[in-house]
Structure 1
Amino acid sequence: MAKNKFHDGPGPSQRQLRVGELIRRTLADVLARGDIHDPELNRLSVTVGEVRTSPDLKVATAYVLPLGGHGKDDVLDLLGRNKGELRRIIGKKVGLKFAPELRFRLDETFDQLDETRRLFAQDAVRRDVEN
C-alpha cells in the first residue's frame, strides 16, 4: 500500500490538528459544565491544554492539569475512571464516525515554562543573551 506523501512528515496532519482542537474544546466544555455523573470529578477544575490524535484518529491523548496544579494524580485517576462516559459524550458532540479512545496525561508545559524562566533569569545566561 502506498503511503500518502502529505502524512509522512514528523508533524501531525491538518486533520489531526483540527480534530484534536475540536476534542480539546469539547472536553474542556464538558468538564467545566460538570456534565459527568461523577461528583468527585465535577468538583475539580481541569485545564485541557492540548489534545493530540493518532494519524488514524482512533486515539486521542488529552494533556490536562488541575487548576493550581494540586491533585495531579487524582485528576488522572478520575478522568481514567470516567473515560468511557467522556468518550461517549465527545463522540456525540464532535460528530466523528468513530469516537476515539481517550488517554490522559499530565500537561507539563507549565513546568517547562517555569524552568525556562528560571534559566533565563540566571546571570550567566542573561549576559549571553544581552551580548
Structure 2
Amino acid sequence: MAKNRHSEGAGPSQRQLRVGELIRRVLSTVLSRAEVHDPELNAMSITVGEVRTSPDLKIATVYVMPLGGARREDAIKALSRNRGELRRAIMRDMSLKYAPDLRFLIDETFDRMDETRALFDRDDVRRDIEGDGAEGGE
C-alpha cells in the first residue's frame, strides 16, 4: 500500500520530512562553521533552505542559496565537489543506515516570493483584491 501512496503523488512521509530536516540542520551547521576543507566553499555564505529525501532515504536533494543570490553556479560546483565530505559529516552526526547521495539545486523559493510580491503590488491586481473584499462583506 505504501508504494501506491507514493506513486499516486502523495506527499513525503513523516520519516522523509524528519530525516530531510535533520540533514538540513547538519549541512547548515557544517557550512556555517566552515568545517569543510575547501577555502572556496568556506568563503561563501550558503543558506540551506530545504532538503527533500527519496522514499528510501538514499537520495537527498538539497536546495541552497548563496548569500545575496550571487555566484549560484560557483556554489553548486563547490558543494558538488565536496559531496563526499558533506556525506561523511551527515553520517557522523546522524544515525542512518546509509549516507544519502547528495544532489544540490538552487532554491528558487526566494525568487518566486519576489515575483508574487511584485504581482500583488500591481495596481490592477490590488484593485481586484480590494474589490473582492468589499463584495464579500455585503
Give the TM-score normalised by structure 1.
Answer: 0.94
Match of 2:94?
A: 94
CA distance in structure 1 between the aligned counterparts of 2:5 and 2:91, rounded to whole angstroms:
24
CA distance in structure 2 between the aligned counterparts of 1:52 and 1:7, rounded to whole angstroms:
17
Match of 1:117?
A: 117
The yes-or-no answer on 1:46 pairing with 2:42 is: no
CA distance in structure 2 between the aligned counterparts of 1:37 and 1:65, rounded to whole angstroms:
20
CA distance in structure 2 between the aligned counterparts of 1:107 and 1:77, rounded to whole angstroms:
15
Residue segments in structure 1 that go unaligned for 5+ positions in a row: none
Match of 1:70?
A: 70
Give the TM-score normalised by structure 2.
Answer: 0.90
Measured after TM superposition, the shift of residue 97 of structure 1 is 1.1
Q: CA RMSD in A?
A: 1.3
Deviations 1:64-93 (A, max 9, x none): 000111110000000000001101111111
Residue segments in structure 2 that go unaligned for 5+ positions in a row: 132-138
Match of 2:55?
A: 55
Q: In the alignment, residue 28 of structure 1 is paired with which amino acid?
A: S
Report which of the two structures shows the higher radius of gyration computed on alpha carbons. Answer: 2
Match of 1:4?
A: 2
